[in-house]
Structure 1
Amino acid sequence: MAGTQIATPDAPAAAVPGAMAGPAAAAGSSFHAALRILPPAQRQAMFEIYAFCRAVDDIADGDAPHAGRLAALDAWRADIAACYAGAPPPALHSLCAQIRAFDLQQQDFLAVIDGMAMDVVQDIRAPDAATLDLYCDRVASAVGRLAVRVFGLDQDCGIALAHHLGRALQLTNILRDIDEDAALGRLYLPAQALADAGIPADIAAGPPQALVAHAAIGRACALLAQQAQAHYDQADAIMARFPARLVRSPRIMAEVYHRILARLRTQGWRAPRQRVRLPRAQLLWIVLRHAIG
């Protein structure tokens, strides 16, 4: 999949129900870099959220038959329900402690699982706008809703930030990962963007790998990039209302992914494409600047 906003590091993670990968799974990622500057209690809570997301993401992208992956996601639903019922499985005691400490909402954990299930039930291909937005809300903005509680942000503004920044990051992931997703039989570019780019309906409905090689794919991607930029602008305006110390981590994530989007727009999407990454030195500079700012 294109990956959730925190599901893009190179390190392996647990992929079985109830198994939490822990902080080690985040090592080497931009997410990990954004969390290192948090106070210890917040950092541990975010690592637990991260590990949950990695575990269910790995299930959705795994090689098991569809029925097995759906059963594994159902097992996670049961495990999350057990946490809220006060009887967590041993592997989730630490996550359960963070749920209590930061009043994390069960519906947000379940939304993430539901988003992963969307990739399992049927490969997403050229979705309509409503389906794409629901997917982004579940796999990215729901994670943001958990995160803003950990960061201690005002509820209304925090939810608005999760809405816009989650969608900005997820759309950037989609634009960065179109080749990897096409290899899995998935295409998250919306049908309307493909039509507006002049791609014929029969090609848009065909195999994703053939579609992403179409000469007009760049125009469709550029349209989605405009949507992503609008969400970054909204997220930046919301973060400007908070003291810098409260939004250091989301600002790091926003800047890292916004720079990736800018590089994608400069490079374009005509095949063959090179995967865009930020140099490690640039990532460290972004973290340092926000840590001391």
Structure 2
Amino acid sequence: MSQSLEAGYRRCAELTRQYGTTYYWGAMLLPQHQRRDVHTVYALCRLADDIVDEPERVDLAVPQTGTPAERLAAFRRLFFEALDTGSCDEPVMSAIVDSIRRRGTDPECFERFFDAMALDLRQETWPTWEALRDGYMEGSAAVIGEMMLPVLEPYTDEAREPARALGHAFQLTNFLRDVEEDLDRGRVYLPQEDLARHGADPSLRRVTPQWREMMAEQVARNRDLYARAMPGLPMLPPPSRRCVGTALVLYSRILDRIEARGYDVFSGRVRVPASEKLGVLARTLTVGLPRPTLP
């Protein structure tokens, strides 16, 4: 492996450690050859997402100038050109395409992903859960599960649907946790139909009885998605099962903490402490996965 490619893989690991701590902790349970490929998938998604959500955070691996839409389009072209040729001068992109080509990931996954990122720049609200799930999360969440599957080396193709459900579950948890941040960006990822039915208004940025009722409904939906993902765990080899199961448990605990705060997602970001993450990791290695809270 060239020094440039090694540097690219190291940077992908740094991005995952810095911004995707749950993914990073889960990947620690994988052999190194799988771990680095988790990092590359995460890095690609993080870099594209930052162009959309954090345009002031400029990374050397992405185009530096232009509007977010122009930068995202340029990043998309750079990615597919590198994927087609199998090479790129930029170390991070070189590592990403090296990993994807080696794993044989379907390029169509990335078309859906970049389409969803572009949609994020044009649409701020979603009328129904079905519209949010099928119109946006298909390319921003479900497809991430599909991207990860070649890395996780499942025993059967039947692992695809649980992986997609887990992608949906992870992102819905993010939506529920990050209401305040998304409002600051002018976006609401809670179905307008559900908000209206409960008379809940996130723009008030305060917890009301209506807000609690609406959030309780969303948390129940979220837990159902985690339950749909659970049957996929036995379809994975033991290291992959521990990795995915640990991430599932840790992410689902965000929901527990949202509930414990009375659905207050306005007065500070809900987090699972590092000590708790270490505890779950240690338990997984010694006695097996703890059970998440499910319906």
Q: Using structure 1 for the length normalisation, give the TM-score.
A: 0.82
Alignment pair present for 1:176 and 2:170:
no
The equivalences for 1:119-130 within 5 A come to 119-122=120-123, 124-130=124-130
Give the Cα–Cα distance (whole angstroms) in 1 for the partners of residues 35 and 51 of structure 2.
24
Matched-pair contact (CA < 8 Å) for 1:48–1:94? yes
Give 1:239's match in structure 2, choosing from 230, 233, 240.
Answer: 233
Count of residues in correspondence between the two structures: 266
Give the Cα–Cα distance (whole angstroms) in 1 for the partners of residues 166 and 35 of structure 2.
19
Who is 2:12 aligned against?
A: 22
C-alpha displacement of 1:51? 1.2
**Runs of 4+ residues deviating >6 angstroms:** none
Q: Secondary structure at the match of 2:54?
A: coil
Q: Deviations over 1:114-171 (max 9, x none)?
A: 222222123x224322331032222222111111110101453221122111111111
Who is 2:88 aligned against?
A: 89
Who is 2:203 aligned against?
A: 209
1:43/1:192 CA distance change after superposition, 3 Å:
same
Q: Deviations over 1:53-93 (max 9, x none)?
A: 111011001347xx721111112221222133225322222
Aligned-residue CA RMSD (Å): 2.5
Residue 125 of structure 1 aligns with an amino acid whose one-letter code is T
1:155/1:192 CA distance change after superposition, 3 Å:
farther
Give the Cα–Cα distance (whole angstroms) in 2 for the partners of residues 112 and 21 of structure 1.
21
Who is 1:8 aligned against?
A: none
Q: Deviations over 1:174-229 (max 9, x none)?
A: 11111111111111110221122134xxxx6xxx533x436222222211111101
Alignment pair present for 1:60 and 2:46:
no
Alignment pair present for 1:116 and 2:117:
yes
Q: Deviations over 1:36-60 (max 9, x none)?
A: 2211111111111111111101100
Give the Cα–Cα distance (whole angstroms) in 2 for the partners of residues 128 and 213 of structure 1.
22
C-alpha displacement of 1:34? 0.9
C-alpha displacement of 1:266? 2.7
Query: 147-156 vs 172-181, which deviates more?
Result: 147-156
Q: Secondary structure at the match of 1:85?
A: helix
Who is 2:221 aligned against?
A: 227
Who is 1:288 aligned against?
A: 282
Residue 251 of structure 1 aligns with an amino acid whose one-letter code is G
Residue 130 of structure 2 aligns with an amino acid whose one-letter code is A
The equivalences for 1:260-271 within 5 A come to 260-270=254-264
Give the Cα–Cα distance (whole angstroms) in 2 for the partners of residues 243 and 44 of structure 1.
17
Identical residues among aligned pairs (%): 27
Who is 1:76 aligned against?
A: 75
Q: Secondary structure at the match of 1:37?
A: coil
1:227/1:82 CA distance change after superposition, 3 Å:
same
Q: Secondary structure at the match of 1:88?
A: coil
Residue 257 of structure 2 aligns with an amino acid whose one-letter code is R
Give the Cα–Cα distance (whole angstroms) in 2 for the partners of residues 37 and 191 of structure 1.
39
Q: Deviations over 1:216-261 (max 9, x none)?
A: 2222221111110101111112214445333111111100011111
Give the Cα–Cα distance (whole angstroms) in 2 for the partners of residues 233 and 114 of structure 1.
28
Residue 274 of structure 2 aligns with an amino acid whose one-letter code is R
Gaps of 5+ in 1: 1-17
Query: 131-140 vs 256-265, which deviates more?
Result: 131-140
Give the Cα–Cα distance (whole angstroms) in 2 for the partners of residues 116 and 268 of structure 1.
32
Query: 278-287 vs 84-93, which deviates more?
Result: 84-93
Q: Secondary structure at the match of 1:27?
A: helix
Give the Cα–Cα distance (whole angstroms) in 1 for the partners of residues 218 and 155 of structure 2.
30
Q: Secondary structure at the match of 2:127?
A: coil
